[in-house]
Amino acid sequence: ETGVTQTPRHLVMGMTNKKSLKCEQHLGHNAMYWYKQSAKKPLELMFVYNFKEQTENNSVPSRFSPECPNSSHLFLHLHTLQPEDSALYLCASSQEGTSASYEQYFGPGTRLTVT
Amino acid sequence: GDSVTQMEGPVTLSEEAFLTINCTYTATGYPSLFWYVQYPGEGLQLLLKATKADDKGSNKGFEATYRKETTSFHLEKGSVQVSDSAVYFCALSSGGYQKVTFGTGTKLQVIP
């Protein structure tokens, strides 16, 4: 596979469930991101990992927990979510430290519905 | 802080019509500017970019010129196709690394 892949593509979970979203990038990049995309709102940057170290956490509630075991994989662990957390969750990657530093490559997203 | 404002959609055009999607920005320093496109059921794809004033980004018949004096980066295409139907996002990156600020997106629908 090439590019950025995300699984699952669709997820329905209750408020008491625990689930995880997975992202994998096959581009050799060293930075990975989680974004939340809600209808009629700008993309919200949630987390940034650079060289496996978390460098950004934009005041995201603790019910979202990221994990980056290596530069190719990124997880978002979910627990006790709220209905307003229903959204499309996008993963992206980029190669930092080059002239293309700001070009981010996105996965297809996971459509999350919290019931 | 940085911000991007783009025209509200949806924009509906007939095939072969001329497209303009307006985008203006507020940023410190000298940002890089981007247009991303999101087709139904997919993630965002970089469409074109410009890294300094008066640069023109182009790809797949789309163009946008970095206008520092008007802080704008309007997207244009001379003749749209049905396959161009998608949501278009204007974005910028300035100052700190990895920070990309996106607009709210403009949905384009092209009808045959």
Encode pLDDT of B24-41 as tens digits.
999 887 888 999 999 988
- H/E element, A48: strand A44-50
In the chain, the amino acid numbered A74 is L
Using the beta-carbon criterion (under 8 Å), do B32 and A106 form an inter-chain contact?
no
Residue A34's alpha-carbon distances to A23, A88, B31, in angstroms, are 9, 11, 22
Q: What's the confidence (pLDDT) of residue B11?
A: 96
Of B65 and B96, the one with more pLDDT:
B65
**A90 and B CB contact within 8 Å:** yes
- pLDDT score, position B34: 94
Decide if A40 and B104 are in contact by the 8 Å CB cutoff: yes
Mean pLDDT of B49-61: 94
Q: Look at residue B110 in the predicted model and tell me its pLDDT.
A: 97
Burial class (CB in 10 A: 0-12, 13-18, 19+), A65: middle
pLDDT for the residue numbered B30: 82
Which pLDDT belongs to residue A59? Answer: 84
pLDDT at A41: 81
Across the range B104-110, mean pLDDT stands at: 95
pLDDT for res B47: 96
Quickly count: other Cβ atoms within 10 Å of residue B22's Cβ: 15
- The residue that leads in pLDDT, A89 or B51, is A89
> Cα(B22)–Cα(A113) distance, rounded to whole angstroms?
32
Q: Show Cβ contacts of residue A61 under 8 Å, excluding neighbours closer than 6 positions.
A: none
Count CB atoms within 10 A of the CB of residue A99: 8
Report residues of chain A scoring pLDDT below 50.
none
Mutation test of the interface with chain A: which of B35, B87, B97, B101, choosing the one with the most A Cβ atoms within 10 A? B97
Q: How high does pLDDT run on average in chain B? A: 92
Which has more confidence, B94 or A88? A88
Which chain A residue shows the shortest CA-CA distance from B99? A102
* A109–chain B Cβ distance below 8 A for any pair: yes
In this complex, which of B32, B41, B98 lies closest to A108 when CB atoms are compared? B41
